[in-house]
Structure 1
Amino acid sequence: MSEKIFNVLFLCRGNSARSIMAEAILEREGTGRFKAYSAGSHPRGEVHPYAADLLQKFNHPVDGLRSKNWDEFSSDDAPKMDFVFTVCDQTANEVCPTWPGKPMTAHWGCTDPVAVEGTEAEIRAGFADVYGQLANRISVFVNLPLAALDRLSLQRRLDEMGGKAKEMV
């Protein structure tokens, strides 16, 4: 019998950097156990070039990554999500759609690297910092004993990973 593959959706406002990086990281780190997706409440319509460059630098495939609206994941024919994580404070405070599958949710807020100002090196360092934060959280997440944790214990662990609890609709 094969092990369940968990669907995970990462959300941020623009779906051009943070959620895209999280999708790429989980897609690689969770191979065989997780299927990663990302979306935005107000997608920019393109992956930020610094995010794409950074992902390529760390050998993540970027060909299939695209900025998309979260409505793609709220319809009846959308993949049923097991987990939904917001990675920006703005989106965490928005009224989210109802997700098919009644997923567990948590807020894993990260600074918006697109908003970093300064030299090109400083801006790229901002992207790298966020990548590191997401990679660390995702590494812990993929190594959680999901089958051994009850729903309440798992929710507590997910919230702790983000630094604060967040109730999503």
Structure 2
Amino acid sequence: MQDPAYNVLFLCTGNSARSLLAEAILNDLGQGRFHAYSAGSMPKDAPHPLTLDLLSRRGHDLSAIWSKSWDEFARHDAPQMDFVFTVCDNAANEVCPVWPGHPVTAHWGLPDPAAVTGSDSERALAFQQTYGALANRLAAFVALPIASLDRMALRDRLQSIGNRADARSDA
């Protein structure tokens, strides 16, 4: 029996890099089993240009990629989330809205590639490494037998995935 489609929200402060990368990766990896979204507590005006460049080069659909506030997902008419992941330490330490439906939450903190300074190639490498780490974690998430795990076991598995030492892996 196939699992139902799950709604997943990725949170970051600016919603310009990490959370948008995760949204695009999961929407592709999940092949309809997951509907991924992203948002930020203090969203930037637009996605970081290197986010858009990397996603485009990797063949992701950019039509749903824009910076948005997490308030959009706390409204009564928003999709009910099954999972909420914070992908930056700042968002993990902020007081988040109350999400309808009590989704399973986990923290998957990663360094902010948008904060990297240096040459163009160094900055592009930071985005590539973040993409790789997220792709690795999301592949593990997609492989979980979600419907057969109780809430505590699922939360433990998600936290374990987030604690992986692949914060700077390539994919």
Q: For this structure pair, what is the TM-score category when the shorter chain's length is used for normalisation?
A: over 0.9
Q: What letter matches 1:137 in structure 2?
A: R
Deviation readout 1:17-48 (Å, 9 max, x if unpaired): 00000000000000221000000000002111
Q: Does 1:62 align with 2:62?
A: yes
RMSD: 1.3
Separation in 2 of the partners of 1:121 and 1:74?
38
Name 2:43's counterpart in structure 1: 43
Name 1:25's counterpart in structure 2: 25
Kindly state the Cα deviation for residue 2 of structure 1 after the two structures are TM-superposed: 6.8
Name 1:71's counterpart in structure 2: 71
Separation in 2 of the partners of 1:89 and 1:2?
34
Q: Does 1:97 align with 2:112?
A: no
Name 1:142's counterpart in structure 2: 142
Q: What letter matches 2:76 in structure 1?
A: D
Q: Is the contact between residue 3 and residue 146 of structure 2 (CA under 8 Å) also seen in structure 1?
A: no
What secondary structure does 1:77 align onto? coil
What secondary structure does 1:15 align onto? coil
Structure 2-normalised TM-score?
0.93
Name 2:127's counterpart in structure 1: 127
Structure 1-normalised TM-score?
0.94
User: Number of residues paired by the alignment?
Assistant: 164
Separation in 1 of the partners of 2:155 and 2:65?
28
Kindly state the Cα deviation for residue 147 of structure 1 after the two structures are TM-superposed: 1.3
- Percent identity over the alignment is 57
Kindly state the Cα deviation for residue 3 of structure 1 after the two structures are TM-superposed: 4.1
Name 1:154's counterpart in structure 2: 154
Off by >4 Å, runs of 4+ in structure 1? none
Kindly state the Cα deviation for residue 69 of structure 1 after the two structures are TM-superposed: 0.2
Q: What letter matches 1:127 in structure 2?
A: F
Kindly state the Cα deviation for residue 151 of structure 1 after the two structures are TM-superposed: 1.0
Name 1:167's counterpart in structure 2: none
Note the residue ranges of structure 2 that are not aligned, 5 or more in a row: 165-171
Kindly state the Cα deviation for residue 63 of structure 1 after the two structures are TM-superposed: 2.0
Separation in 2 of the partners of 1:6 and 1:120?
37
Q: Is the contact between residue 3 and residue 147 of structure 2 (CA under 8 Å) also seen in structure 1?
A: no
